[in-house]
Amino acid sequence: MNQNSYSYNEEPLHEPIDVDATFSRDLLGHCRPIAFRTQSGREVQITEIGLVHPKYDGLKTIFAFDVTDGATDYRLTLDTESLNWYLDFEGDRYV
Amino acid sequence: MYNLPLKTMYVDLNSCFATIEQQARPMLRGRPVAITNRLTPNACIVAASYEAKALGVKVGMRRMEAESITKDIIFAETEPDKYIFVHKKLRKIMEEYSPDVTMKSIDEGVLNLALSPENIQNKPNPELVAEIKSRLRNEVGSYMSCNIGISSNRFLAKLAAELHKPDGYDEITPANQREIFGKLKLQDLPGINVRMEARLNAVGIRTPLQFLDADEETLVKMVCKSIDGHKWYQRLRGLEVDDWVSDIKSIGRQYVLESNRLTHQEIEARVIHLAEDAGMRLRSRNLYARGIYVWAVTYDDLPIHKNILLKDPIHTDADIIRVARKLFEEFPAPLRIVGVTLYKIQDSPQAQLSLDQDKVEHNNRLCQATDTINRRFGDRTIFCADSFGTELVKVKIPFGSTRFL
């Protein structure tokens, strides 16, 4: 990795993940993921949610959560039809 | 400037796409970021963060050019869904302050405070501005900021919004207009481009203050040579002349081709994709088009175009693609940019029944069915086989009109 590059993987990973989330009445979104575990068992604690926005695939809504653990940015998606969570993008670790 | 109520508020998101990316991806904050439609070396920068601008990176530069200025720059690909979401959030906030809101583009809009409810009109302007800025941060994200300008018309409010970036707030009033104009150049004024500046220079107008002091007759007869001269005279004095809403005159899309090695057939597939997108937008508004214009730009910057005005209006993909393909037949390859535009837009189908009415009805029903499937399962679930493999032509940022957001 170039020292100054910082990018996401170009194609979505679409890796199913386990997510711990809270639900609240919050202006930035009712659902807030707080941690996730990948299939390999890696656990990531979310320190900040950058932006939550809906994406539409026909009539299906998918919520995209741009989050960070303080060193890497991630894109988690919640499929509102299946209620499954996915890790779609992972940024380079910026040190 | 006439002594008019300061009831026009202009809200402009700062370095919109770059700031949204920095909001979404905290690791990008405080760093020079440039946004491009594709992550190719030749891609054009459509937005740059303030950190990138401070290093000399400009919107419109090629990626390679920006990299030659600073190796620290980070490139991110545009993500229209994200920007449309923020646009809608901003619009929703603005609509809570006035029933008369006009979004001028994806990242800016105007509020007419003269029509606001009494409790809002009674608030001092600085309080209103602070409230809107705070709501943007609370409801979109803490990194978001906007510039707000207030004056008596859109032109002066927009100018006020551009005075102090980022996160600025200015008012242009009869008391400070001359002082503000005295510090600006002609091209700092919204709507003054190189050509208009040259026309003003030709009659001795070289500064905004000279423009403001020019008499109406000079502007009408010598500068604009049209009614636009009256408009400029009024606009500069704070009268509203820009609150008109235009009809849809054309619908189109363009695409910068990803490679200079594409064959005519491969480019044609992309033209078909563009024709399908334009047709979908046309039908989303229940409109019809009589004109189709296919255009291109070669690698030598040579423009090429062909158009046709049909007797009967069309709106199905089959018809639009058939005509677009015919127009594209004699275009050369390779090309740098291609575009398809539908014009002579009307809201009713042909007045006379066709001799081949059954076929027309059949095509209409087929098109309705494919549109229904695409709306349910997502764009391009069903599409013309000849545009297969052209996913790169996906919809990018809708600059300009916000009609189709």
pLDDT digits (tens, 9 = 90+) for B197-231: 999 999 999 999 999 999 998 888 877 777 888 99
Q: Predicted confidence band at A29 (pLDDT cuts at 50, 70, 90)? A: low
Contact B27 A53 (CB under 8 A): no
Amino acid in the structure at residue B268: E
Measure the CA–CA gap between A32 and B367, rounded to whole angstroms: 41
**How confident is the model over B342-366, as a mean pLDDT?**
82
Q: Which residue has the higher pLDDT, B42 or B300?
A: B300
Q: What angle do helix axes B317-328 and B357-377 make, rounded to 10 degrees?
A: 100
Mean pLDDT of chain B: 91
The pLDDT of residue B25 is above 60:
yes
Contact A4 B73 (CB under 8 A): yes
pLDDT the model gives residue A95: 40
Percentage with pLDDT > 70 across chain B: 96
Closest by Cα among B87, B116, B123, B114 to B99: B116
Measure the CA–CA gap between B378 and B206, rounded to whole angstroms: 53
Across the A:B interface, residue pairs with CB atoms under 8 Å apart total: 73
The pLDDT of residue B69 is above 80:
yes
Chain B residues with CB inside 8 Å of A32's CB?
Answer: none
Nearest to A6 among B23, B28, B141 (CB): B28
The pLDDT of residue A94 is above 60:
no
**CA nearest to B73 within chain A:** A4
pLDDT the model gives residue A44: 97
Contact A59 B375 (CB under 8 A): yes
Q: Predicted confidence band at A26 (pLDDT cuts at 50, 70, 90)? A: low
pLDDT the model gives residue B133: 97
pLDDT the model gives residue B403: 65
Nearest to A58 among B73, B74, B375 (CB): B375
The pLDDT of residue B355 is above 80:
no
pLDDT the model gives residue B49: 95
Contact A51 B82 (CB under 8 A): yes
Is the previous residue joined to B166 through a cis bond, with omega within 30 degrees of 0?
yes
Chain B 353-382, residues with CB within 8 Å of chain A CB atoms: 374-379, 381
Do B58 and B70 contact (CB within 8 A), yes or no? no
Nearest to A50 among B26, B81, B378 (CB): B26
Length of chain A measured in residues: 95
To test the contact with chain A by mutation, choose from B27, B38, B68 the residue with the greatest count of A C-beta atoms within 10 A, namely B27
Measure the CA–CA gap between A6 and A72, rounded to whole angstroms: 10
Contact B374 A60 (CB under 8 A): no
3-state helix, strand, coil in chain B (%, to 5): 40, 20, 40
Measure the CA–CA gap between B255 and B337, rounded to whole angstroms: 6
pLDDT the model gives residue B246: 76
pLDDT the model gives residue B131: 97
Q: Which residue has the higher pLDDT, B78 or B183?
A: B183
Contact B81 A55 (CB under 8 A): yes
pLDDT the model gives residue B305: 95
- In sequence order, the β-bridge partners of residue A91 are A8
Measure the CA–CA gap between B187 and B162, rounded to whole angstroms: 12
β-strand pairing of B45-48 with B250-256: unpaired
The pLDDT of residue B397 is above 80:
no
pLDDT the model gives residue B363: 87
The pLDDT of residue A4 is above 50:
no
Closest by Cα among B342, B329, B256 to B293: B342
Chain A 20-79, residues with CB within 8 Å of chain B CB atoms: 27-28, 48, 50-51, 53-60, 64, 66, 68, 71-73
Chain A contact present for B53, CB below 8 A = no
pLDDT the model gives residue B276: 95
Nearest to B27 among A6, A28, A55 (CB): A6
Contact B31 A6 (CB under 8 A): yes
Closest by Cα among B280, B246, B266, B247 to B395: B280
Measure the CA–CA gap between B307 and B327, rounded to whole angstroms: 7
Measure the CA–CA gap between B370 and B367, rounded to whole angstroms: 5
Closest by Cα among A50, A73, A46, A93 to B19: A50
pLDDT the model gives residue A25: 77
Rounded to the nearest angstrom, the minimum Cα separation between B160 and chain A is 29
Within 10 Å of residue B323's Cβ, how many Cβ atoms?
A: 21
The pLDDT of residue B174 is above 60:
yes
Lowest average pLDDT, out of A24-28, A39-43, B153-157, goes to: A24-28
β-strand pairing of B146-151 with B169-171: parallel
pLDDT the model gives residue A10: 62
* B33 three-state secondary structure: strand
B44: exposed, middle or buried (Cβ count in 10 Å: 0-12, 13-18, 19+): middle
Chain B residues with CB inside 8 Å of A50's CB?
Answer: 23-26, 141, 143
Q: What are phi and psi of B125, to 5 degrees?
A: -55, -45
Contact B381 A58 (CB under 8 A): yes
Amino acid in the structure at residue B330: E
Nearest to A91 among B25, B31, B72 (CB): B25
Nearest to B85 among A8, A10, A54 (CB): A54
**CA nearest to A94 within chain B:** B27
pLDDT the model gives residue B85: 94
**How confident is the model over A58-80, as a mean pLDDT?**
93
pLDDT the model gives residue B40: 77
**How confident is the model over B25-39, as a mean pLDDT?**
90
**How confident is the model over A49-60, as a mean pLDDT?**
92
The pLDDT of residue A1 is above 50:
no
The pLDDT of residue B256 is above 90:
no
